[in-house]
Structure 1
Amino acid sequence: MMNDIIVGIDLGTTNSAIGVVDSGFPMLLADDGGKRIMPSAVWYGPSGEIEVGHKALRRRPIEGSRVITSVKRLMGRELSVEESESLGGKTAEQVSADILRELKRRAEWRLGKALTKAVITVPAYFHDGQRNATKRAGELAGWEVVRILNEPTAAALSYGLDQLGERSRVAVYDLGGGTFDLSILEMQDGVFQVLSTHGDTQLGGDDLDRVLAEKMIGLAGLEAASVGHDAWIRWRVEAERVKCALSERALETFAMPFFDGVNSFSREVTRVEFSEWIQPWVARTLSCCRRALSDARLESNEIDALVLVGGSSRIPVVRTAVESLFGRVADLSQHPDEAIALGATIQAGVISGAMKHLVLLDVTPLSLGIETLGGLMNVLIPRNTTIPCKAGELFTNAVHEQKAMRVRVLQGEREMARDNWELGIVDIPFKPAAKGQARIGVQLHIDENGILEVLARDVKTGIDQILTIRSSAVDVSDESVEKMVGDSVEHAFSDMAERIFTEAKLKAEELLPAVEQALELGRQWLSAKEIKTIETARAEVCQALLEKEPNSLKAAVQRLDTATEALAAKIVQQAMDEALDRQLSL
């Protein structure tokens, strides 16, 4: 096994991810769109077609009954009639296997070789039936599951908590999409032992979505029980969007245009309101925390580290409540959606021997990234990342018939490219292509000596351009670092406002002509009321562009996007039907 590649997999309720140890360092593998996180969603078509991840989620507004999500909640237990029907004749293991099969396809495509062995994570309180079901799902997908790893242990590994002092105790609060657990681990001699764990397999972000959706349905004068299945999914999808938005700002609009084909509903939701509505569910997680502390015979002040993982741990009221209970600030150094997958990858590397010679030498004093459309700073390697390290993303052309792309490498903490330091430039020529068709991969790699190598690849031809920047990535004076970080704090609000406006402006400039074209193609499918709603939303975007107010423009763009969802779905369906007719006529 020492010579085999073993991958690490987080099979999550809402999202999943896969990683591998490369050159002694763990990294998560992205799809062809540069996304490391894949929604745990599967669409089953009427003729046996299967789509997984983002593609499946995009079908949810118009084919909600064919899209299965949150299947992890159903693993290894007896199902009700309603739960069985929701799987459309599949078992929970079969659906999970399709998710794992897609992750396998991604990893093999990225690495260019067949893969067979995996470490897969599960909640610490999963019983044997649930663990065995997870293992069987992996085997159905073509994996040899070499280990089932507890999620809190994986999280602790990803945060580097195995480097803490002797007999250190760690609390891992994991609030995912469908499950919750609080585990207390003790690290001794480099080995984690679970001292206690409490959780709830039926408590997670999905429940918070349901609370918000039911509240909005009630305010719309409806009863949740009377809402049809497909309509309910639309309410839930919008609730999830608003929930995520309220983790970033204090106010968001919940909008359901033509929810019954005629009537529309819209209401502003504040973060304070949402926090009050979900308080009972947050309290349930805190109760689990107290029981776990009691079982471990510990007081909260005896915990040496607190980490939060799972997407729902981003919710401000959740973080505040947990930090208050434990009396300490949580370690937020890792992405909450990626921490468990990263830990699984580390464990896989340890088992295979790929991480045996790992040496940590230094950290990056400032973030490294590249300039993207609109003059934005796109960070690839965040500040304080341990080196050696590497990270990359896939980019595309923003202009029709574009012949080249300039990769401008930057260092700094500001939101706009102009305010950061330029380290170097790489020009990548490629054959003229339609907008969005060219594919340029960019990877930043810092070796143990602090040498930054920039690799830019034309994916179509495989031709690489390489720029080597010696020492600039880490050899920065303390005074310069302090000034850059200080400037980023001083200008944080204005920088973020400019970034929000720039991103919204780019979205608006892409959306407005698309809406105009969509109206030309599908006006005959719309009522006068629907056309007026779209045109009003389009006018609001144009007005917001003139006023240059970031949040107003962002909200206007979102309203226009929402207002045209049904039209876009009809146009896509029409195109698919026409393509099928052409195929059948051959």
Structure 2
Amino acid sequence: MAANDVYIGIDLGTTYCCIAFCSKNGAPDVLTDERNNRVIPSCITYSNGQWMAGRKAVEESKKMSATSLRLLKRTTGRTSFDGKLRGDLEKLGFTNPTFAPVSADPTAWQADGDIDDELPMRPLFKIGEGYTVAEEFAARLLKHLVQIAEKRLGEPISGAVITVPADYVGSQRESVMTSAKIAGLKVLRLINEPTAAIVGARAAGTIDDGKVLVFDIGGGTTDISLVVVQGNTYCVKGTKGHQWLGGEDINGILIQLICKTLRAEPKKGRNDKRFREACEMIKRNLGDDPTLNLDSQFLQLYFPDSPAAEVDEVEILREEFDEACQDFYQNVYDLADRLLKDTETYPHELTTILMVGGSAGLVGLQCYLEKQLPNTCVLVPPGYEEVVAKGAALVAASETDPGKRIVLTEVLAHSIGIQINDGSMVSILHAGDELPGKSISGCDTFANGVDYQEEMRIAIYEGEGKVAAENTYLGAFIMSISPMPAGKLEVEVTVTANMEGLVHVTAKECKDGAEPHSINISREGSWSEETIFNLRLKVDGGMGAAPKMSTGTKRKLAEQSDLNDGEGDRSAKVIV
């Protein structure tokens, strides 16, 4: 890394993003857009042949000619092999989603193409005259954020530290890395959002040494981590998360409460998006006010046929709002309770409860947690929506400047293991295992299950289910083995995983001179270099049919990527 390289921190949120940069004095600053907005909407819009992202995309989305997409972070890195995906897409309003085989190039996909339900498929999202995918959506956002940073700093951006939900599985982390690659952005590393949050809050002088329970309650996800802080060392002891528990769900609760209070449904049509945005602003501006006030302009615009449209104002008591949110509050606390039990931590051992993210300002939630975890300081720092990005910027500075060294010890969010003959999964790496550096390794020994078999299939899964099929399938490979009676041949399998979602597997017979089979798992949703190249052309503004990649271009693109980090080889075929 050159001395004049510029690296930033990016909080790539479900509903809003934030960018930060560490100045030479070491303090992180938020980089604002052209209108001085400190948080940027996670929205892309296609209108009249033009792509837009961020605040401009939100404004343009209100026009009849525009189509826009939001909340796609909830689908990133997922395929049809995820049994919950179709239901989750319906929650996002995609009642009849289009799917394409993961091997298909989305830049050339046609809606009337053949689809095989037995193959892993990724969802495609109609926008304008074509389709996009979650990775392109994130790439356009990242490119927009980099442009904002370059305009503010007056220098090209060399790379970034990007934050992700702590609960992300490996395929979702890999998806973020792919999006950055499409955007042409070098990723120094991925870090979990709660970890970035405590680094950012610590730098502001609001966190003392001790055990800190970090609640990151964003627009779409909630993550909770237990972190031991000592000086510039942050040791994560455990983490829990929920990818469908966030501010968007609070918005839904508020909408239901408003409709119940007014005994009416909002007027349908082009005002639907504006209505949700207006409800979100009511929530964001609530603070500690005792009432939610719906003024005459709001009532006349969205409920013109309701008797309420004839009055000046309608009030909803805070108690009613908090009562409606009780299940949400309880679900957040349940995550924390499970985390404390799993880490064998008593509430009285906590020095601080840190709340960050877009929904951290909910006073009702703060009070609920204070009640459930008494005698512990609940801290909501100033700029709680920006703390994650600031922490990422500090980690970026640490990665590039030894004088700003920050030591992070993360934990593995999900177990990784091997399927055995009875269909169960034997975990080799376990959820909660500490990552002493940027990766972790573990090994176990397996025996042949059939007399004189000459091949063994090593199938790798990720998750906590006892049955392998209940978990996320990562991939598999076939290795040749010496024919021996069942149970007489032993094979040692070693699994290495890192924060970026890469899984490296080595398997070899337990005998002298045995040749190891070593692979990097190519996940079911992984992209080919050619598809990434085509998507990059599209995001960069390339028109028409994308040219075929030359060998030189492939090499250049591979050199720009840090995805594989030079680990392992591909001496065994991956089966997906």
- Could you state the TM-score of these two structures normalised by the residue count of structure 2? 0.57
Contact 2:161 2:393 in 1 (8 A): yes
Match of residue 197 from structure 1: 239
Aligned sequence identity (%): 28
Residue 231 of structure 1, CA deviation:
4.5
| One-letter amino acid of the structure 1 residue matched with residue 237 of structure 2 | L
| Distance in 2 of aligned mates of 1:44 and 1:205 | 25
The answer as to 2:315 corresponding to 1:315 is: no
| SS of the residue 1:311 aligns to | coil
The answer as to 2:320 corresponding to 1:298 is: no
Mark the CA change 1:105 to 1:355 in structure 2 (over 3 Å): closer, same or farther: farther
1:265-414 to structure 2, matched below 5 A, reads 265=308, 267-327=314-374, 328-353=376-401, 356=404
Mark the CA change 1:63 to 1:147 in structure 2 (over 3 Å): closer, same or farther: farther
1:11-50 to structure 2, matched below 5 A, reads 11-25=12-26, 26-45=28-47, 47-50=48-51
Match of residue 286 from structure 2: 246
| Distance in 2 of aligned mates of 1:242 and 1:163 | 31
| One-letter amino acid of the structure 2 residue matched with residue 70 of structure 1 | L
Greater share of helix: 1
| Distance in 1 of aligned mates of 2:273 and 2:345 | 43
| SS of the residue 1:66 aligns to | strand
Contact 2:361 2:380 in 1 (8 A): no
| Distance in 1 of aligned mates of 2:304 and 2:326 | 33
| Distance in 2 of aligned mates of 1:63 and 1:177 | 26
Residue 62 of structure 1, CA deviation:
4.6
| Distance in 1 of aligned mates of 2:283 and 2:65 | 20
Residue 163 of structure 1, CA deviation:
8.5
| Distance in 1 of aligned mates of 2:187 and 2:160 | 5
| One-letter amino acid of the structure 2 residue matched with residue 244 of structure 1 | R
| Distance in 2 of aligned mates of 1:348 and 1:56 | 28
Contact 1:175 1:205 in 2 (8 A): yes
* Alpha-carbon RMSD: 2.9
Cα offsets for 1:256-284 (capped at 9, x unmatched): 42437766755322211111111111110
| Distance in 2 of aligned mates of 1:291 and 1:276 | 23
1:484-495 to structure 2, matched below 5 A, reads none
Contact 1:121 1:154 in 2 (8 A): yes
Match of residue 210 from structure 1: 252
The answer as to 2:132 corresponding to 1:90 is: yes
Of 304-313 and 157-166, deviating more is 157-166
Q: Which runs of 5+ in 1 are unaligned?
A: 359-586
Contact 2:356 2:381 in 1 (8 A): no
| One-letter amino acid of the structure 2 residue matched with residue 279 of structure 1 | Q
Contact 2:264 2:306 in 1 (8 A): no
Residue 20 of structure 1, CA deviation:
1.6
Match of residue 274 from structure 2: 234
| SS of the residue 1:308 aligns to | strand
Match of residue 257 from structure 1: 300
Cα offsets for 1:202-229 (capped at 9, x unmatched): 01010011111123334454568xx757
Match of residue 73 from structure 1: 74
Residue 194 of structure 1, CA deviation:
2.0
Q: Which runs of 5+ in 2 are unaligned?
A: 80-84, 99-124, 407-576
The answer as to 2:225 corresponding to 1:183 is: yes
Contact 2:353 2:378 in 1 (8 A): yes
Mark the CA change 1:128 to 1:220 in structure 2 (over 3 Å): closer, same or farther: same
Contact 1:257 1:264 in 2 (8 A): no
| One-letter amino acid of the structure 2 residue matched with residue 333 of structure 1 | P
1:510-549 to structure 2, matched below 5 A, reads none
| One-letter amino acid of the structure 2 residue matched with residue 306 of structure 1 | I
Residue 67 of structure 1, CA deviation:
2.6
Residue 339 of structure 1, CA deviation:
0.3
Of 238-247 and 212-221, deviating more is 212-221
| SS of the residue 2:378 aligns to | coil
Mark the CA change 1:69 to 1:323 in structure 2 (over 3 Å): closer, same or farther: same
| SS of the residue 1:143 aligns to | coil
Contact 1:13 1:178 in 2 (8 A): yes
Of 97-106 and 1-10, deviating more is 1-10
Mark the CA change 1:222 to 1:144 in structure 2 (over 3 Å): closer, same or farther: same
Contact 1:6 1:118 in 2 (8 A): yes
Match of residue 511 from structure 1: none
| Distance in 1 of aligned mates of 2:58 and 2:403 | 36
Cα offsets for 1:382-417 (capped at 9, x unmatched): xxxxxxxxxxxxxxxxxxxxxxxxxxxxxxxxxxxx
| One-letter amino acid of the structure 2 residue matched with residue 246 of structure 1 | L
Mark the CA change 1:180 to 1:229 in structure 2 (over 3 Å): closer, same or farther: farther
Contact 2:206 2:381 in 1 (8 A): no
Cα offsets for 1:450-471 (capped at 9, x unmatched): xxxxxxxxxxxxxxxxxxxxxx
| Distance in 2 of aligned mates of 1:192 and 1:309 | 17
| SS of the residue 2:336 aligns to | helix
Runs (4+) off by over 6 Å: 161-167
| Distance in 2 of aligned mates of 1:160 and 1:14 | 25
Cα offsets for 1:479-526 (capped at 9, x unmatched): xxxxxxxxxxxxxxxxxxxxxxxxxxxxxxxxxxxxxxxxxxxxxxxx
Cα offsets for 1:214-259 (capped at 9, x unmatched): 23334454568xx757444333222212212322422233334243
| Distance in 2 of aligned mates of 1:205 and 1:65 | 25
| Distance in 2 of aligned mates of 1:234 and 1:36 | 21
| Distance in 2 of aligned mates of 1:154 and 1:290 | 22
Mark the CA change 1:87 to 1:280 in structure 2 (over 3 Å): closer, same or farther: farther
Match of residue 506 from structure 2: none
The answer as to 2:49 corresponding to 1:6 is: no
| SS of the residue 1:186 aligns to | strand
Mark the CA change 1:250 to 1:62 in structure 2 (over 3 Å): closer, same or farther: farther
- Could you state the TM-score of these two structures normalised by the residue count of structure 1? 0.56
| SS of the residue 1:99 aligns to | helix
Contact 1:176 1:311 in 2 (8 A): yes
| SS of the residue 1:159 aligns to | helix
Cα offsets for 1:89-112 (capped at 9, x unmatched): 211111111111111101111122
